[in-house]
Amino acid sequence: MARKLYYSGRSPYARKVRIVLAEKQLPYEHVEANIRQKTPEFLRLNPIGKIPVLVDENGLVFWDSTLIVEYLDETYPQPSFYPSDRLERLRCRQGEELADAMTDQVVARWYEARKGNQAKASVEARHQQDMDRMLAVFETQLGKTPYLLNDQFTAVDIAALCGLGYYTLRFGPSWQRQWPRLGQWFEGLHQRSSVQETMPVKDTTLLKHSQTHL
């Protein structure tokens, strides 16, 4: 059976998986999931009710973007996005967690903005502090290495790129002025076709590609 990815065109978490599938040249069917009206079939696949969900060619079901990325990397190790050294690998998972926490902040802030809630100044300031603390870690690392973990493109870069791509979609690119090394790293990654072809669009019906990737 064909490998299937339940996703939405703007989901930063689903984008992590789409980039890895593209980098590894693994074909799959896109299944656009309506997360506002979740179908019983979708909820049977993921009782948490979140995308992405991967159904592999043997019918095995995986959810949570980090676990899907790890599963794909272990099953199809070339090219690999995790270091082989045990401690470096843990550091990579930790960086990915930091990037996802940053993305969670952006998503939460967007939901508030969409509801028309004018967040209290104190809430907004705390949100900004949280974002700044996390982005500072990445900015500092880029003063030492070309990528966010070391000198290789890893799962940390993929997760942070997806979070910052979503931040840019919703709130614009002004963060790049505050974090110039991160801005340069972000722009540089857009040379990769996996990054270009998964860029989030405002209207998911505008997806450039047909239902089957590659």
Chain residues in the site for ligand GSH (CB under 6 A): 11, 13, 35, 49-52, 64-66, 100, 107
Per DSSP, the residues of the chain read ---EEEE-TT-HHHHHHHHHHHHTT--EEEEE--SSS--HHHHHH-TT--S-EEE-TTS-EEESHHHHHHHHHHHS-SS-SS-SSHHHHHHHHHHHHHHHHHHHHHHHHHHHHHTT----HHHHHHHHHHHHHHHHHHHHHTTT-SSSSSSS--HHHHHHHHHHHHHHHHH-STHHHH-HHHHHHHHHHTTSHHHHTT---SSGGG-SS-SEE-
d(CA 158, CA 72): 14
Tokens for 45, please give them. 């696949």
23 vs 100, beta carbon nearer ligand GSH: 100
Q: Which is nearer to ligand GSH, 55 or 142 (CB)?
A: 55
Nearer to ligand GSH, 110 or 147 (CB): 110
**Least CB distance from residue 121 to ligand GSH, whole Å?**
27
Min dist CB 205 to ligand GSH, Å, is 17
Give the nearest distance from C-beta 177 to ligand GSH in angstroms: 26
CB of 129 vs ligand GSH, minimal distance in Å: 22
Least distance to ligand GSH from the beta carbon of 94, Å? 15
Q: Which is nearer to ligand GSH, 142 or 156 (CB)?
A: 156
Cis ω for the linkage preceding 52 (within 30 of 0): yes
Count other Cβ atoms within 10 Å, centred on residue 68.
22
Residue 200 CB, shortest distance to ligand GSH, in Å, is 10
Nearest to ligand GSH of 23, 64 (CB atom): 64
C-beta closer to ligand GSH: residue 53 or 195: 53
